Structure 1
């Protein structure tokens, strides 16, 4: 452990000594570039997903409402310079390549504005944090909700962790003390999740009344989570769909059908409902203080098992897969080029035609 810390510190010192832009210095002398590198190394897939959510909000035509919070360095006289931010986003390579660049700062240079933006998204927006869940633990997560209908298994699952001392978490804990909790799903467009993670789920006004809609069936939530455009360089795919697995407090103000088989109808209909009772399998939560996002289920148009297949279909993917053949081909090409260059000497050509 001590050795790892020394290596990490050495990386920070190396990068700091080579990357002299003073805009990257923290008030305490810490280096944003080194901190971004350490963050990426800790959980690259989770960092990639968090960045993809930010990108999706950025490219939404509703970015004024989706991109909350907004990076302050792109605010000029209270005007959001979204075009300048998109220019900086375009400069950022795939995160696997970025890790390589940041490790070898003598060879590669990274613009300060791009590091500032990555630092703001990945580190400065520190709550909540995302943690990738291994595939072997997917069933344990999905068992939190007792669903009856079959639904497609997610390609990725990320755990959402909050700081216990945050105002939102303390409010949740105080309400939860005398109430049980249960889990349910909430579907939303990809572009909304940057804001959802930072501000919680927001009320919607529909036919059954105003509130946050959840369902005990993943199959019911999925249609509300249609695939949206994320980041074209993402490790998990450029198009994603996300369903939030939420924990909610079983508070009397939540509207739902009876779950114990009783005929009690006191919680089945809201005062502002237009069409009557809340349907079976649905929960209508009156405010965000009663619900917390615990996991994000992610569906990709290019799921994990396809990444290697897609890569192998490309020319560079073939070269990577057939290294021995590539080396042999390169050697033969070199010999052939040497032979051709010798034959093409003027003296050789003259001798050939004057024999």
Structure 2
């Protein structure tokens, strides 16, 4: 696996090569490998490879990695984050069926499998090998399931020119840090959820708001939406909490560890930009309408700039806002040497500065140092 420091160059080379060479799918039947297994093959039995199925998976993965590598990388990072959390029973939904035996989830086998999967740029190069499926079957099967099979809904990158338009969907009064990337969550028009949503919005208007959550929750959120029963009970009642201020939701989205091989960086945070139905079950804070506010038995009312949806069917995730310190760093910034190192190691810089200060104070109070200093000044003056 390539070191994180060399990823920008690695992805630049990969992207240039993809743009120069058209996709070529080798249709020849994979040959036997003389009984030798690659380190990534963990299939328990030597199954006969279905050539057409193998070609389909390889072709689909290559097309996706060429068309939208950022979205594929991000979706894989969300899956990895859900795999590594201790709450995988609730976060890792849906769960890959190839790691389920007798209705028991083999999370340890899954974690071992993802450990050997290289950055997607390297994986793209391996897919060019005529024996790719034979040598990397388990890896290809898992990537295909996460990135291709789970396509309802699917994630796609948003052009940077549209970022401001998307953020303006929520009229905010407070300033907040802008995301590095924005991805759109797209559902097929013919899906049951989308049809049910359209039926509801025929009699009600909609509006947008932000929802913050931990990184490991977003694999499930993308595929099942924000579920009311998954949300913690807040002081204003049970439901899905949202806000009209990006800065408010950012507090609920701490930086999480995704995937070490990600082109976006291993540490990222995520905010969901949701569309809500203007319905009585979506309670608005600081409202003059008594029917559209929540007052608990303890007498507390939802504060201004907050929303509480007590029905998860009234909330749809439309965009995902991603924050990453590693992504978007130019080569010039990386090559700034000492200055760049200080910026990336602020705490250590502070400690070193404190040590230098202590040493300086100690030296100024040292008589020998003072004597030598005076001697040096006199010598310079004479010269």
User: What range describes the TM-score normalised by the shorter chain of this pair?
Assistant: 0.7 to 0.9
Residue 264 of structure 2 aligns with which residue? Answer: 236
Answer yes or no: is 1:296 the counterpart of 2:320.
yes
Shift of 1:312: 8.5
Alpha-carbon distance in structure 2 between the residues aligned to 1:229 and 1:307: 24
Specify every segment of 5 or more residues in structure 2 that has no aligned partner in the other structure, as ranges.
Answer: 1-18, 33-45, 338-383
Whether the aligned pair in 1 keeps the contact of 2:204 and 2:279 (CA below 8 Å) is: yes
- What secondary structure does 2:293 align onto? coil
Whether the aligned pair in 1 keeps the contact of 2:28 and 2:130 (CA below 8 Å) is: no
Answer yes or no: is 1:152 the counterpart of 2:180.
no
TM-score of the two chains, using structure 2 as the length reference:
0.73
How big is the alpha-carbon RMSD for the aligned residues of Structure 1 and Structure 2? 2.7
Specify every segment of 5 or more residues in structure 1 that has no aligned partner in the other structure, as ranges.
Answer: 314-355
Alpha-carbon distance in structure 2 between the residues aligned to 1:126 and 1:144: 25
Shift of 1:18: 3.8
Select which of 118, 135, 153 maps to 2:143. 118
Q: Deviations over 1:268-309 (max 9, x none)?
A: 115x56452111001111111101101000001313125764
Answer yes or no: is 1:284 the counterpart of 2:308.
yes
Judging changes above 3 Å, is the alpha-carbon distance between structure 1 residues 291 and 23 closer, same or farther for their aligned structure 2 residues?
Answer: farther
- What secondary structure does 1:305 align onto? coil
Alpha-carbon distance in structure 2 between the residues aligned to 1:285 and 1:206: 12
Alpha-carbon distance in structure 1 between the residues aligned to 2:120 and 2:154: 18
Select which of 222, 234, 254 maps to 1:226. 254
Select which of 47, 59, 65 maps to 1:40. 65
Alpha-carbon distance in structure 2 between the residues aligned to 1:28 and 1:94: 24
Residue 344 of structure 1 aligns with which residue? Answer: none
TM-score of the two chains, using structure 1 as the length reference:
0.79
Paired residues in the alignment total: 303
Residue 217 of structure 1 aligns with which residue? Answer: 245
Judging changes above 3 Å, is the alpha-carbon distance between structure 1 residues 236 and 254 closer, same or farther for their aligned structure 2 residues?
Answer: same
Alpha-carbon distance in structure 2 between the residues aligned to 1:312 and 1:26: 50
Shift of 1:88: 1.5
Residues 204-353 of structure 1 aligned to structure 2 (within 5 Å):
204=231, 205-257=233-285, 263-270=288-295, 274-306=298-330, 309-310=333-334
Answer yes or no: is 1:77 the counterpart of 2:105.
no
Select which of 187, 198, 201 maps to 2:212. 187
Shift of 1:127: 1.1
- What secondary structure does 1:296 align onto? strand
Residue 174 of structure 1 aligns with which residue? Answer: 199
- What secondary structure does 1:207 align onto? coil
Q: Deviations over 1:170-200 (max 9, x none)?
A: 1111111111110000000000000001111
Alpha-carbon distance in structure 2 between the residues aligned to 1:84 and 1:29: 22
Judging changes above 3 Å, is the alpha-carbon distance between structure 1 residues 107 and 25 closer, same or farther for their aligned structure 2 residues?
Answer: closer
